[in-house]
Amino acid sequence: MLIFILAYIFYTLYMNLIKDPKSTSFLSHKTVLRESFDLPLWLNIMYVHVMFACLAMLTGAVNFSKRMLTGIPKVHKLNGYFYFISVLIVTLTSGYMAPYSTGGRIVSIAFNIVNIIWPAMTVIAIAKARRKQYSKHQEWIIRSYLFCFTNLFIHLITSACTKGFGLVHDISYTIGVYGAIVLNLVIAELIIRFRKLPYNLQTPLNKNRGNI
């Protein structure tokens, strides 16, 4: 899994910072743009967005490692706060980009909903850890971490709609954004439902169900 995430991080950085740093391909699909759209500013914010999105993916992935969880809890905690800060920066930058979204207002609303629920899920996950409710902590962090794949799902669904069903780009992107949110939530619930709890999370269940 870590290999897949590392490959995706390198792919994202390569595509957005090296291959197409001016986002020409992505921006060419924007049919309507507000007057206040400032390309250099948008690009700089997008770079910050992409870099912290990659940091969120990396810090999140590292923290799922069993060895990190049981062996070096201090690093797990510090890394967790880096993850949280990255989530905040991704959503703040998203807050700037959302009003200029491809697909217009309906897509901008979807992004702004994620701007609220993603940090909220992460805060709940941290609160559960601080109360030593580790199983609940894991559930909420799984829900939160799935949002790191929002951009991947948006692009997969958008190209399935344009190339597979011949839909116009704006409609495909709108379906992509809403579809990605639904996929994030559904996949997270499936992982939570079928995950195997590590031993150190199972033990308190037997001793004290309140902690779970």
> Nearest approach, Cβ of 21 to ligand HEM (angstroms)?
11
* Cβ-contact 179, 112 below 8 angstroms: no
- Reference 29, options 127, 148, 167; nearest CA is 167
> Rounded to 5, what percent of the chain is helix, strand, coil?
85, 0, 15
List interacting residues with ligand HEM (CB under 6 A): 12, 16, 23, 26, 46, 49-50, 53, 56, 90-91, 94, 97-98, 100-102, 111, 114-115, 118, 147-148, 150-151
Of 101 and 134, the one with the shorter C-beta distance to ligand HEM is 101
> Nearest approach, Cβ of 109 to ligand HEM (angstroms)?
11
As a whole number of angstroms, the distance between CA 27 and CA 116 comes to 25
* Cβ-contact 155, 176 below 8 angstroms: yes
Of 55 and 126, the one with the shorter C-beta distance to ligand HEM is 55
> Nearest approach, Cβ of 67 to ligand HEM (angstroms)?
24
Residues 6 or more apart whose Cβ sits within 8 Å of residue 153: 176, 179, 180, 183, 184
> Nearest approach, Cβ of 107 to ligand HEM (angstroms)?
6
As a whole number of angstroms, the distance between CA 105 and CA 2 comes to 36
> Nearest approach, Cβ of 71 to ligand HEM (angstroms)?
27
Neighbours of 98 (CB within 10 A): 19
